Amino acid sequence: MIAVPPAREGLGRRDEGSVTAELAVALPAVVVVLLLVLGLGTASMAQVRAVDAARTAARLAAIGDDDAALVAAAQRLAGDGSHVGVVREPPWVTVSVRVGVVAGFEVGASASAWVEP
């Protein structure tokens, strides 16, 4: 048989509420970490959208589409509120796309293509 030592008096009273206090201290830190992870995920997705939009617009420019079509295609892929810039320096064209993420932060991408004759 296993002997169980008798409980000391007053031990339970001293620990009352300690879990609540520890949770109150740790919960804000957990929330901050969660918000940072969500913000990083959002920024990563916006970066991928910006890269895809810039590449697509550069390909369209390479086959001879006009600037209005490039901007429309890039904005469709990058999302609302994106900023698209087109710079033509023959025989190259460069498309830059900036996308707003959270709290004024922006991510961007650019792609260049050789314009076919």
Helix axes 18-62, 67-78, angle to 10 degrees: 160
Residue 56 lies in a domain: yes
How do residues 55-64 score in pLDDT, each as one tens digit?
999 999 999 9
- Count of domains observed in the chain: 1
Between 18 and 30, where is the model more confident?
Answer: 30
pTM of the model: 0.76
Domain enclosing residue 55, as ranges: 17-114
How do residues 62-101 score in pLDDT, each as one tens digit?
999 999 999 999 999 999 889 999 999 999 999 999 999 9
Residue 3 lies in a domain: no
Tell me which residue of 61, 64, 84, 62 sits closest to 72, measured CA to CA: 84
Distances (CA, A) of 15 to 5, 12, 21, 27, 50: 19, 6, 10, 19, 54
Radius of gyration of the CA atoms of the chain, in A: 28
Residue 12 lies in a domain: no
How do residues 6-19 score in pLDDT, each as one tens digit?
655 555 566 777 88
Beta sheet of 106-114, edge-to-edge order: 83-89, 92-100, 106-114
pLDDT at 1: 67
> How many residues are recorded in the chain?
117
Taking a C-beta distance cutoff of 8 angstroms, is the pair 27, 91 a contact?
no
Residue 6 lies in a domain: no
pLDDT at 17: 75
Residue 11 lies in a domain: no
Residue 76 lies in a domain: yes
